[in-house]
Amino acid sequence: MQKEKVLVVGLGEVGRPLYEILVENGLFSVSALDIDEEKMREARAAPPEGKVDVMHICIPYHSRREFIEAALGYIRRFDPGITIINSTVPPGTTEELKRKAGCPVAHSPVRGVHRSLEHMKWELRRWTKYIGGADAESAGLASEHFRKLGLRVKALRSSRETELAKLFETTYRAWMITCFQEMHRISRRLNVDFDQVADFLEDTHRVRFDRPVMFPGFIGGHCLIPNVELLLETCESKFLRLILESNEERRREMEDEAVREEVERIKRRVDRLEGEMTKLWKLLTQEKTDQHAV
């Protein structure tokens, strides 16, 4: 029986781990494309030959026009049966690509912390794969593909729901960090030891699991703040602008050595707590797996 041909476009922090779990699955004939030849060599990936059955888009989003044009080019070149956008994109992007391409397109956002390649592969397997189709056919094809990959799948009403859900997920985290930035500022104004305040909050979280301690430093990286800005392009919000304003203020505040030292103490607390929570999750997951195996 001929294996389903799957193409991964983009071998970055999302595309590379996705490519590897597709290969490890063994049910697919997997190829990849990346403009960086070194990434192709590192992944030992080969470009596709002719038409593919499934195409994963894992390229960064910089602008609607640029992203749509790039995706359209790959669709016309490889004529996939279903195109799945794994990139974080603003609401309406998947539907627009479907209208212009005239073929099935779905959105399936990726969750996880990019600590390493192996960790991200674990993250991809860890989370339920949410599917948002440009239409019912697209959702069905994408869902079937991810089930073959051995992932849990949940289809939402449309791609707009998954597109916005991904932006909200990262914005939610950015807002919690912003809250801790402000609590740290208030603590300094009142000459209060914020690490001891955070100890109280952490103790509450260990019982209720609803008030995590967050790193109150400057939000860098290429997910949280860029996604807030991406959401602002779609919908104006004073709330979102407050996140950006607070983060810029924190950038300036971090020039103060005393502020940096206080932030670092909270970071150590956050890292320890998150490490404990991850170990607990893995332990509970393993127990469930063992129970099913009995």
CATH classification at residue 72: 3.40.50.720
- How far are the Cα atoms of 46, 222, 257, 285 from residue 230, in angstroms, in the given order? 33, 12, 32, 34
Q: Averaged over 64-93, what is the pLDDT?
A: 98
Count of domains observed in the chain: 2
In this predicted structure, what is the pLDDT of residue 294? 47
Rounded mean pLDDT of 162-186? Answer: 98
pLDDT at 209: 85
Q: 3: which DSSP letter?
A: P
- Mean pLDDT across the stretch 145-154? 98
Instruction: Please indicate, yes or no, whether residues 145 and 187 belong to a single structural domain of this protein.
Output: no
The answer to whether residues 136 and 62 belong to one domain is yes
User: Does 198 share its domain with 283?
Assistant: yes
Assess whether 244 and 221 both reside in one domain.
Answer: yes
Across the range 258-265, mean pLDDT stands at 98
Whole-number pLDDT of residue 287 = 61
- Asked if residue 289 has pLDDT above 90, the reply is no
Q: Which of 117, 132, 157 delimits the end of a domain?
A: 157
Evaluate if residue 234 carries a pLDDT over 60: yes
- In the structure encoding, which two tokens stand for residue 47, read together? 């470009």
Find the domain containing 211 and state its range: 163-293
Regarding whether 287 and 257 lie in a shared domain, the answer is yes
**Confidence tier at 224 by pLDDT (50, 70, 90):** very high
The kind and range of the H/E element at 123 are: helix 117-126
Distance CA(184)–CA(70), nearest Å, equals 43
Say if residue 250 is in the same domain as residue 149: no
Give the residue among 225, 48, 84 at the shortest CA–CA distance from 159.
84
- Residue that wins the pLDDT comparison between 289 and 271: 271
Mean pLDDT calculated for residue range 261-272: 96
Mean pLDDT of 162-176: 98
Task: Indicate whether 132 and 58 sit together in one domain.
Answer: yes
First and final C-alpha spacing in the chain: 32
Last residue of a domain, one of 105, 137, 157: 157
3-state class of 209 per DSSP?
coil
Give the C-alpha separation, 258 to 15, whole Å: 40
Length of the chain: 294
Residues 194, 123: one domain? no
Round to whole Å and give the CA distance between 226 and 60: 11
**DSSP code of residue 134:** S
284 or 243: which leads in pLDDT: 243
Q: What is the pLDDT of residues 40-78, one digit of tens each?
A: 999 999 999 999 999 999 999 999 999 999 999 999 999
Residues 146 and 171 in one domain: no
Residue 124 and residue 206 in one domain:
no
User: Domain boundary at 125, 157, 189, which?
Assistant: 157
pLDDT, mean of residues 5-17? 98
Shared domain for 223 and 288, answered yes or no, is yes
Helices (H), 48-157: 64-78, 93-101, 117-126, 136-148
Identify whether residues 147 and 178 lie together within a single domain. Answer: no
